[in-house]
Amino acid sequence: MKEKIIRNRGDYRQLLCYRKAETIFDITYLFAHKFLKQPDRTIDQMVQAARSGKQNIIEGYAAGATSVEAELRLFNVAKSSLKELLADYEDYIRTRNLRRWEEDSAEFKRAQELGKEHDDAEFWMDIISTRSDETVANIAIIILYQTDYLLHRFMEKLSSRFVDE
């Protein structure tokens, strides 16, 4: 029996890494417009990095119907864009002398657990809408790390399939 050239992939929204990236986009959009002031170019840069992360997952997943190599390349672009965004949040905290949550802090552990339990943007938007810039930036950093981990695992599976095929 011949293998199909075009695989039926299903909906990209089923991917946990996509749902996390969408959450990151929504958080970043709110963060950039609430805590940064025009004409700061960082607003556009952060929003575009978040958008690129999300959109490249969509594009990569679609491309993966015919090419594992194209899917890997686009998922890597998504990962890179989200790493750039992570650095923006870390810079924001550092340059404003805000507290970066330590991994053993109660806040870090709680946000990390919530990140494992919730992958929908709506949940996070309710939480962050009334929080300080320090809290929102730290939550975004934690979700970015979780998204990076998920993308890494997904890409490892893709690379194995690429080698096999």
- pLDDT tens, 93-113? 999 999 999 999 999 999 999
Q: How far apart are the first and last CA of the chain?
A: 16
Q: Quick check: 133 and 98 in contact, CB under 8 A?
A: yes
Q: What is the mean pLDDT of the chain?
A: 92
Sign of CA dihedral 134, 137, 143, 146: negative
**Number of other CB atoms surrounding residue 107 within 10 Å:** 15
pLDDT band at residue 1 using 50, 70 and 90 as cut-offs: very low
Distance CA 78, CA 117 (A): 23
Q: Is the pLDDT of residue 163 over 80?
A: no
Q: Is the pLDDT of residue 158 over 90?
A: no
Predicted pLDDT at 31: 97
Amino acid present at 121: A
- Per the omega criterion (within 30 degrees of 0), is the bond before 39 cis? yes
Whole-prediction pTM value? Answer: 0.91
